[in-house]
Structure 1
C-alpha cells in the first residue's frame, strides 16, 4: 500500500546473503488481480506466475532488464549493488548461469501493490518456493493523507502514467479494488472516497490472512511501519530466519541510509489526528466516513500499537 514502507524494507532484504535486487514486475500485480476478478483461468495464472519468476531470477543473474537508473529507489545504485550487476553485464549466461541458480538458490524479492487481499493464487502457485510474504502496514492516518494528497482518486484510470488495472462497471471506470462498490466509489467525494478505499483494502488484508491455512499463515509477516522504524532488528532477524539467510555488512549500511532505527513518538499520532480532523472539517467529510475512519484507526492501534 502506498506510503506503508515497502521501499523501506525491500532494500534491506536485497542486502541479505543470496538475495538479489528487489523487483517491480507489474505482471505479479496484474495476474493475481485478473484471476481474482474471474477473468483468467487459475491454472493459466499459476503457470504465468511461475514462468515470470524464473525469467526474473535468470535475468537478474545476467543483469538483463536490470534497473541502472541512479535516481530510482529500485535501481542498483540506491541498493548498493551497482558493482555486482555491472560485472554481470559482460559475464556468463546460459547453462552455466542455470547451474549457478540451482546451486546458490538466490532469493527473488517481488514487490506488489495493494494485492494481499487477493493473493491466494500466489500461495497456491509458488507453494514451498514462497518462503515469506511481507505485508507492510501503517497507521491509516498516514495512508489516507498520502492517498488524498497524491490525488490517487483522480489519477487512477485517467492518468496514462498510472499503470493500474481498472474495471468498467455501469458505464464508469473504477480501480480494480473498487469494483465491488463501484457505484458508491463514483458518487463519493474525494476524501470520503479515500477513506473508503483504505478501509476496504485493510479489511481485505485481514480477511485474506484469516482465510489462509496455518501453513501459509506462517509465511505471512505483517510489519507495522511504526514498529519497524523503532525496532528494525526484531523484524530483520525474523526475515533472515524465514529465508534461511543472514545479514551482510551492506545491511547495516543500508539501515543507516534508511535512518533505522528511528524513534516514533506517540505524540506524532496525536498531531496527525488533529491534522486529519482539520482536513475532514475543511473537506466536509461525512459522518459515516468519519465513523469508518475512527474504526480503522482503532483496529490498527489495537493490532499493532497496543
Structure 2
C-alpha cells in the first residue's frame, strides 16, 4: 500500500540555505547574513545533508523525506523562539553569544511555550538560515519538495579549499591503521558499507578506486565529486534566480559590495549589528596569493599527476570566474 507521508508546517515565506563544499566559506558568510534585519541566527543541520543522498538514490520517497525535513524545521524554528536547545558555547562560530538578538534569546529562556508562540512566529516572519553541504549538487531533487527557498552557494579557490580540508580533518580518522575506515561517530555524514568497511556515500560504485588513493587524494575525491555535481546540476536547473553565487575571495576582500548583492537577493537590509559582525569575523581580509602558491606546491607533491592537473584546471576557471 502506498502511503502519502505528510505533516503540518511552520515554514515562513522563505528559507535560506548557505550551501557549498565543506570549508568553502559558509561559516564566514553565515554570521554576516544573520546580522541582517528580520533574520534568525544561522543554524547547522545534518538531516537535510543526509536525507538528500537517500532521495537521490531512491532509498526514501519524496513525501517521507519532505515530512521529516518539515518536522525538523518546525521544531527548530519553534525552539529558537523559546530559546530551547540554543548554542551558547563561547568559541563556536554559531554561538548565540555573538548574535544580534543575544539579549532576546536570554530573555526568552523564561518564555512559556504554547500555541501563542506559533502565532508570533507567523506574524514576525523572520528568515531562517541553515548551513547545508552539497545541496546544489542535488538541487533538482530538493526542488521537488516545493519549499519556499533560496540558496547562497559559496565557493572557494580549489587550492585553498582542498588544503583547508586536509588541514582541518586530517586528525578525524578511525583508530584502525591497517585499512581506511569511516568508523568515527564524530563524522555526521551518510555512509555505506563495503567489505565491512564504512565509506562516504559519494564513493558508491567507486569504492576500489577511492581506497587506492592516498590520504590527501581522498579529500580531493570528495571535492571534485561535489563540485562537478554542483556544476552539472546547476546547468540543468531551470530556476536559477533562486541561487546566488559567492566567491570566497570576493566576499573576503570586497565584503561591503557583496553584502549589497546579498541584501538585494534576499530583500533584507543590514542592521546596526552588521558592522560588528564584520569585525568579529575579521572582515574584510586580505587574500595571500604567495601563501596560496606555497599550498599549490605542497599539493603537487601529494597528488598523482592526473588528479593534480584536474585541480589546476578548475583553479584556472575559478580565477577566470567561469566555474558556473
Q: Cα offset for 1:261?
A: 1.9
1:23 matched residue in structure 2: 43
Q: Cα offset for 1:239?
A: 2.2
Q: Superposition RMSD on alpha carbons, in Å? A: 2.2
Q: Cα offset for 1:229?
A: 0.9
1:230 pairs with one of 244, 253, 277? 253
1:151 matched residue in structure 2: 170
- CA spacing shift, 1:248–1:148, aligned 2, 3 Å: same
2:226 pairs with one of 201, 221, 241? 201
Q: Cα offset for 1:154?
A: 3.9
Contact map agreement 2:62 2:144 (CA 8 A) in 1: no
- CA spacing shift, 1:25–1:271, aligned 2, 3 Å: closer
Note if 1:303 corresponds to 2:321. yes
Q: Cα offset for 1:253?
A: 0.9
Question: 2: distance between equivalents of 1:9 and 1:180?
Answer: 34
- CA spacing shift, 1:153–1:82, aligned 2, 3 Å: closer
2:178 matched residue in structure 1: none
Contact map agreement 1:153 1:194 (CA 8 A) in 2: no
Any residues of structure 2 matched to 1:1-306 within 5 Å, and which? 1-127=21-147, 129-130=148-149, 132-149=150-167, 150-151=169-170, 154=173, 157-169=182-194, 171-213=196-238, 216-264=239-287, 268-281=288-301, 283=302, 285-303=303-321
TM-score, with normalisation over the residues of structure 1?
0.89
Q: Cα offset for 1:248?
A: 0.6
Q: Structure 1 residues 72-81 or 220-229, which shifts more?
A: 72-81
Q: Cα offset for 1:291?
A: 1.5
- CA spacing shift, 1:105–1:162, aligned 2, 3 Å: same
Question: 1: distance between equivalents of 2:274 and 2:95?
Answer: 16
Q: Which of the pair is proportionally richer in helix?
A: 1
Unpaired stretches in structure 1, ≥5 consecutive residues: none
Q: Cα offset for 1:228?
A: 0.4
Contact map agreement 2:82 2:111 (CA 8 A) in 1: yes
Q: Cα offset for 1:109?
A: 0.5
Question: 2: distance between equivalents of 1:121 and 1:93?
Answer: 35
Q: Cα offset for 1:231?
A: 1.5
- Note the alpha carbon deviations across 1:23-50, whole angstroms, 9 max, x for none: 1121121121221232111121122222
- Note the alpha carbon deviations across 1:196-251, whole angstroms, 9 max, x for none: 221111111111111111xx311111111100011222322232233332111111
Contact map agreement 1:153 1:190 (CA 8 A) in 2: no
Unpaired stretches in structure 2, ≥5 consecutive residues: 1-20, 175-180
Question: 1: distance between equivalents of 2:229 and 2:171?
Answer: 19
Question: 1: distance between equivalents of 2:286 and 2:243?
Answer: 25
Contact map agreement 1:138 1:226 (CA 8 A) in 2: yes
Q: Structure 1 residues 25-34 or 100-109, which shifts more?
A: 25-34
TM-score, with normalisation over the residues of structure 2?
0.84
